[in-house]
Amino acid sequence: MHEYSITELAAGLERGDFTSRELTGHYLERIRRHDGTLNSFISVTEEAALARAEAADARRARGEAGPLTGVPIAHKDIFCTDGVRTSCGSRMLDNFIAPYDAHVVERLDEAGAVMLGKTNMDEFAMGSSNETSFYGPVSNPWDTAAVPGGSSGGSAAAVAARLTPAATGTDTGGSIRQPASMCGISGLKPTYGRVSRYGMVAFASSLDQGGPMARSAEDLAVLLGAMAGFDHRDSTSVQREVPDYRATLGDDIRGLRIGLPAEYFGEGLDAGVRAAIDEAVAALRAEGAEITEVSLPNTHLAVPVYYVIAPAEASSNLSRFDGVRFGYRCEDPRGLEDLYTRSRGEGFGDEVKRRIMVGTYALSAGYYDAYYLKAQQVRRMIRDDFTRAFEDVDVILGPVAPTPAFDIGEKADDPVQMYLSDIYTLAVNLAGLPGLSVPAGFANGRPVGMQLIGNYFDEARLLNVGHRFQQATDWHTRAPGDFA
């Protein structure tokens, strides 16, 4: 059963080949058997999952089933889940039990999905390798010596190892697309505002966006249809109709204009990654797409701009974690200042502290104009690059990351090299555009993802292109042998 896609699982449930309780039990057994190797889950909600599966079976028996009724999924541990620990991969929230559900969790619950548990992640979503988690690093199922990417590395590893058919993730600078690429699965970062951020613990509010992770573009279309939609509780949520993303998956892509940014194929791109992307381009050309070159001249500024804006917003958002109202609290504080200092010093990890310090500096008197304001001005230039490019092309294509997955510990002591692993994904968040990663081959025995970038609210087109590519190739069907 774990080799079936979401569509196949839904069909099997409808035919009565298996019940949701049987299916859920199968995945829970796989988690018990394999996750000791991967560390992809922080919490497994076995009892609640089985109860929810039985409710889904009853719903189906009444003829009330939808496309996700009874299908197991996992949630990144940054989404609040009523009555279940929501840790954000941090000691700071190790004891926090959320009193409500995030909008994404609500929507998937309403669609009938069964939550298996909460997946591991970089602490407060700050990282590109899933090594900053308080609960330890996650291993890549294709090579357990390698990182799975981050920050949604637990979700990516769990989907790749067939411990869950799908999972939610969040993407602030590539945190869905990069781990999807490194684990050989599909992942979609929607347009900013397409999916509500209510109940998604904030890292950088103008960049964060939740999205689905699964094996195929078709599965992503089903998931996004359930997740997307207006939410009055999120001031950045866009009141816009949600299309049927599955309806256009099979559309012909002959004549589709695909742009290759020259800046994404220069120095620093691994030769094996380049070869895989070149083959992917050839496959799309064979499907009738027209390939042309475009320019995104401010791409090289995305890393410095992101690492001013994101830490500044993190500094503000994480100020609420002070040891007073909820979360970690130091023992025997000697006064209010000692409570704040030691609770934050003991509760946060090194990478989170680093970003809080950088962000606080950038927002401080005398430096706001020089750093934060300037970064916002350059952010507009990056967005304008995409606006001009989309006058000439329909979709932009490139690699997701400059290299395949690197070894655990390889970049842990070099933050700059770690940050550069997101060089092709950051600009999409800065511009608020949708981006899709789909498996496109291997380099050095590790998966490579192809990134497709669309214009605002053009997720249906991205999923269409991704699906047509997956109809012509089999990369998305391949599974790591040790977890078959």
Is 76 one of the annotated active-site residues of the chain? yes
- pLDDT tens, position by position, 403-461: 999 999 999 888 888 988 999 999 999 999 999 999 999 999 999 999 999 999 999 99
- pLDDT tens, position by position, 332-385: 999 999 999 999 999 999 999 999 999 999 999 889 999 999 999 999 999 999
Dist. CA 93–CA 458, nearest whole Å: 36
Of the candidates 145, 160, 144, the one whose C-alpha atom is nearest the C-alpha of residue 30 is 160
- Say what the pLDDT of residue 409 is: 96
**Catalytic pick from 20, 40, 43, 76?**
76
Question: What is the pTM for the complete model shown?
Answer: 0.97
- pLDDT tens, position by position, 171-186: 999 999 999 999 999 9
- Say what the pLDDT of residue 417 is: 87
Is 353 one of the annotated active-site residues of the chain? no
Residue with tokens 């109940």: 199
Domain boundaries defined on the chain: 6-256+392-483
Is 175 one of the annotated active-site residues of the chain? yes
Of the candidates 385, 376, 227, the one whose C-alpha atom is nearest the C-alpha of residue 313 is 376
Query: CB under 8 Å, gap of 24 or more: what pairs does 189-192 form?
Result: 189/428, 189/429, 189/434, 189/435, 189/436, 190/224, 190/228, 190/434, 190/459, 191/238, 191/432, 191/433, 191/434, 191/456, 191/457, 191/458, 191/459, 192/236, 192/429, 192/432, 192/433
- pLDDT tens, position by position, 22-40: 999 999 999 999 999 999 9
CA distances from 29 to 50, 153, 175, 247 (A): 12, 21, 28, 34
Three-state SS at 455: coil
**Catalytic pick from 5, 133, 155, 175?**
175
Tokens describing residue 2: 């774990």
CB atoms within 10 A of CB 420: 18
Dist. CA 448–CA 340, nearest whole Å: 43
**Catalytic pick from 151, 216, 237, 437?**
151
CATH 3.40.50.300 fits 6-256+392-483, yes or no: no
- Say what the pLDDT of residue 7 is: 94
Q: Which residues contact 389 (CB under 8 A, 6 or more apart)?
A: 259, 261, 294, 295, 296, 396
